[in-house]
Amino acid sequence: MSAATPAEPAVVQGPPVERQEEVLTDGALAFVAALHRRFTGRRDELLAQRAVRRAEIARTGRLDFLPGTARIREDPSWRVAPAPAALEDRRVEITGPADDRRMTVNALNSGARVWLADFEDASAPTWQNVLGGQLNLIDAYARRIDFTTPEGKSYALRPAEELATVVMRPRGWHLDERHLTVDGRPVPGALVDFGLYFFHNARRLLELGKGPYFYLPKTESHLEARLWNDVFVFAQDWTGLPHGTVRATVLIETITAAYEMEEILHELRDHASGLNAGRWDYLFSIVKNFRDGGERFVLPDRNAVTMTAPFMRAYTELLVRTCHKRGAHAIGGMAAFIPSRKDPEVNEVALEKVRADKDREAADGFDGSWVAHPDLVPVARASFDAVLGARPHQKDRLREDVHVTADQLIAVDSLKARPTSEGLRNAVQVGIRYIESWLRGHGAVAVFHLMEDAATAEISRSQIWQWVHAGVVLDTGEKVTAELVRRLAAAELAAADEGRWQEAHDLLLKVALDEDYAEFLTLPAYELLE
């Protein structure tokens, strides 16, 4: 490698995208290249450590809190940095892909306190979407974004003080971006998404009274949180911004991270603003890590595993306890219901479930929660308003009554529900329908009145894999076999219209039935993206 190589910017390998020159500037490409050269090697080491830990779980069939970091958990003195004003009140957060221009306007206007602008599970990472999401956010901050429907209805931004605060979610550490390379290697998608967004928007956001705020997905250990913290420090130094300008909320959506919540907050303590409890990726992680653990780890139908299940209660109560102990926000899970325009009875039943779920979260001590649709914002807000009143949060509720053991977090066999024939059919249907839409560039998809994303597709295909390999017998008396799954998939394919259904069908069967379990279905799926 020549002495001049380290100064060379990232190389664009993707097809031309309209207005890409506004995002892929020389400065931005140099910044992304610097991030890659500094941090991708450590990223690689941490991904290798994931495999080592998974092998240990397969050998022992258990997890425990880390003995080597007990001093951090036992030290009562440390706290995360105080929340900035824009993140002090987070009682309702709406989620959605940043690559959708209409979503960008509607989410910012929704009345939610926060918009999770997603480049991860709710976005299919086509090059158009990757750059389009960046452009939408740049345009939003410059107030030059609007949207007009084919019917002529116009959407424009409300006054600045009424807009949701953006918390951007980059891709997880495992995904690379093949359209941007440095020294002949693809740059991790996380560094592309973070780097482009931070470079273009950090200073502008500070001028607007907000800041560069992030959700960190699929974190599996405090060492991965340490890597993110070092990325933040490097980025702030590069641009001359004060230390602590960046704020991050970590999604505790892997079973291993659930055992390291305090350590994760400690690593990010100068930049941390909270933790979030995400159900579908969390269940996916349990299946992935304990997939060969036998009958005691077999999950029933995904819709039967609610947040009231004993092991899920242990997880969420520990999260609230941990966050409030350390001065961080605890953010609850997703209300994924998409209201029907034609069936008020469906809406009434579903909204009552949403209301009950948000009432429970507020009563448990959460400081806010997620919704997937603007119509759910007032429902969730009412639940938190009833508990919070004029207060911005309830971090004073320390939940010192909570005492969670290592075994309680993985007590999957405490569930009474069992896998059903309908649950298997639903897993096949959701898997194929979501993948087909994803391959066409849509990462957030309404299926059966629920907003599905990559996380729900992951739990669907993982349960199929688990049920086949565990020889599960359904409520009908039928045993789950590869042949049964193929029959259900064939029926779904036969009913499909035009689209990429054959590819979706084939990919679902591959990631659900292959002997070698794919770590993430989006890895082989990414190779099929155009």
Place of tokens 């998608």: 189
Distance CA 118, CA 189 (A): 13
Rounded CA-CA distance 502/397 in Å is 52
How would you classify the pairing of strands 445-447 and 154-156? unpaired
CA gap 55, 291 in Å, rounded: 11
Are the C-beta atoms of 42 and 234 separated by less than 8 Å? no
CB 116 within 8 A of CB 253: no
Rounded Cα distance between 366 and 76, Å, is 21
Q: Is position 185 annotated as part of the catalytic site?
A: no
Does 75 participate in catalysis according to the annotation?
Answer: no
Name residues whose C-beta falls within 8 Å of residue 72's C-beta, 6 or more positions apart in sequence: 78, 262, 263, 266
**The one catalytic residue among 100, 121, 453, 461:** 453
- What pairs with residue 116 in β-bridges? 95, 167
Could you give the 3-state DSSP secondary structure of residue 399? coil
DSSP 121: T
Active-site residue, selected from the candidate residues 54, 91, 169, 247:
169
Per-residue b or e along 464-493, where b marks 16 or more CB atoms closer than 10 Å to that residue's CB: bbbbbbbebebeeeeebeeebbeebbeebb
Q: How distant is the alpha carbon of residue 320 from its chain centre?
A: 18
Chain centroid to CA 86:
21
Distances (CA, A) of 346 to 323, 352, 358, 378: 36, 10, 18, 18
Per the CB < 8 A criterion, the answer to whether 273 and 93 are in contact is no
Distance separating alpha carbons of residues 94 and 136, to the nearest angstrom: 17
Catalytic (active-site) positions: 169, 453
